[in-house]
Amino acid sequence: MDKTLEIVNRYDETLREVSRLSDGKATLVLASKTVPAETLSALAAARSGVIFGENRVQELLAKYFTAEGLTWHFIGRLQTNKVKYIVDKVAMIQSVDSLRLAEEIERRSAKVDKVMDVLIEVNVGEEESKGGVPAEECLSLAKQVRAMQHLRLCGLMSVLPIADETTLEPLYCRLAELFEALRSADPTNVKYLSAGMSGDYPVALRHGSNMVRIGSAVFGARHYDE
C-alpha cells in the first residue's frame, strides 16, 4: 500500500477511535515531530481540518506551509527568544509554563495584531525532565494570563508520567480539578484539557481529556537524529 494512503487510513482510524472514546467531544492534534513536510502536505491535501502540533521552532519553520482547513499548534517547550518566529504561524501555543513566556507571547502577538490561543502546561507528575508549572502555581498564572489583551486562555496541557492507570488516576483527578476551576472562572473560552499521546490517549480520554496529541499511531515509529 502507498505510504501516503497508509497514513491517511491510520489518521481516519485514529480519528474515529478518538471520537468513539470521547462521544465526539475530543480534538485530535497530530504530533508531527520528525515527520517530513511532504508527508504532512499529502495528509493535509487528503483531509481537511487537520491540526499539526510541532515541538521545535526550527523544525516548524522548516516545514511550515498553508492549506485549506489546516492549522498548526506549538506543543513543545518554548524559549522566549523564539516566540517571534511562530506567532504568525500557529493557532495555539499549548506549552505556556511561565509568566515571562506569557508576557513575551503577549508582546509579540500585539505586534501582529493577533489574539493567541494558549494553554497552560501543568507538570502534575512533578517530573524534573518535563516542562510545566507546578499544580499549585497553575491558577495564579492563569489569572495573570487572563489579564493579557492578546492572549486567550483556552485550558490546560499536561504530559503525564509513564505509569499504569491506577497510579495515574490521582494525577488525572488533580488535572481535572484545575481544569474545572479554570472553566468555572471563564466558561466561554476555557474549552480544552490537552492530555494523552499515542500510548496512553484512551486512558486520558477516560479521565477527562478532550484534546489528544498523537504521533506514532498515525505516522509510525519515530526516527530521531540525536
- From residue 208, give the alpha-carbon distance in Å to each of 37, 125, 149, 178, 179: 32, 16, 29, 12, 9
Residue 207 maps to a domain:
yes
Residue 143 maps to a domain:
yes
| CATH code: domain of residue 156 | 3.20.20.10
Question: With 50 as the cut, is the pLDDT of residue 226 above it?
Answer: no
Residue 224 maps to a domain:
no
| DSSP percent split of the chain into helix, strand, coil, nearest 5 | 45, 20, 40
Residue 59 maps to a domain:
yes
- Please state, in angstroms and rounded to a whole number, the distance separating the CA atoms of residues 62 and 26: 29
Residue 97 maps to a domain:
yes
- From residue 191, give the alpha-carbon distance in Å to each of 26, 91, 114: 10, 15, 19
The mean pLDDT value for 5-25 works out to: 96
Residue 163 maps to a domain:
yes
Residue 226 maps to a domain:
no
- The number of distinct structural domains making up the chain is 1
CB 29 within 8 A of CB 73: yes
How much is the CA Rg of the chain, to the nearest whole Å? 17
pLDDT mean across residues, the chain: 94
- Please state, in angstroms and rounded to a whole number, the distance separating the CA atoms of residues 109 and 102: 10
Residues making up the chain, counted from first to last: 226
Residue 225 maps to a domain:
no
Domain that holds residue 115: 3-219
The mean pLDDT value for 163-174 works out to: 90
pLDDT, tens only, 36-89: 999 999 999 999 999 999 999 999 999 999 999 999 999 999 999 999 999 999
pLDDT, tens only, 135-154: 999 999 999 999 999 999 99
